Amino acid sequence: MTRTVSMLTRTLAGATLAFGLGAASVLAADDAQIKRGAEVYTASFPSGHSMMAAVVYLTLGALLARTQVDRVVKAYILAVAVIVTVLVGVSRVYLGVHWPTDVLAGWALGAAWALTCWLVMTWLQARGQVEGEVKR
């Protein structure tokens, strides 16, 4: 249990760092002509909402799916994670607060983080340091 809490803490700390670095990026091109659902006063590249959605949902989905034996359950967990991540990104474009490229960049960074976490978990499972797939 202590290892799980430790890994979760490191994952959240890394995600917070990734969000901080992404939020301090450049402004997008002048887009004053776009009708918006909300006013924006900060940098928009990459989309912080899309990135954090990908970091949280894809990471949780990948790590939870890794512990399951049944392929249907794995597919369901990953599908829910992907759908929620996509909905967050689409909502940012729909509201007019981000360009599609901002959202794609956020998704790419978040997916890279989730992939890294999944690879670390795979490595730790191979070494026997964390629990493997749940057996029925």
Instruction: Answer yes or no: are the C-beta atoms of 132 and 72 closer than 8 Å.
Output: no
Domain range for 72 is: 48-136
For the question of residue 70 being annotated catalytic, the response is no
Q: Is residue 79 part of a domain?
A: yes
Q: Is residue 35 part of a domain?
A: no
What's the CA gap between 92 and 103, in Å, rounded?
7
Q: Please give the model's pTM, rounded to 2 decimal places.
A: 0.62
Catalytic residue among 49, 66, 74, 92: 49
Count up the domains in the chain and report the number.
1
Q: Which of 100, 99, 106 is nearest to 55 (CA)?
A: 106
Catalytic residue among 66, 74, 92, 98: 98
Place of tokens 């989905």: 61
For the question of residue 113 being annotated catalytic, the response is no
Each residue's pLDDT expressed in tens, for the chain with a length of 136 residues: 566 656 656 665 665 555 544 444 433 444 454 555 556 566 577 877 888 999 999 999 988 888 888 889 989 999 999 999 999 888 888 877 777 888 888 889 999 998 998 888 888 888 877 776 666 6
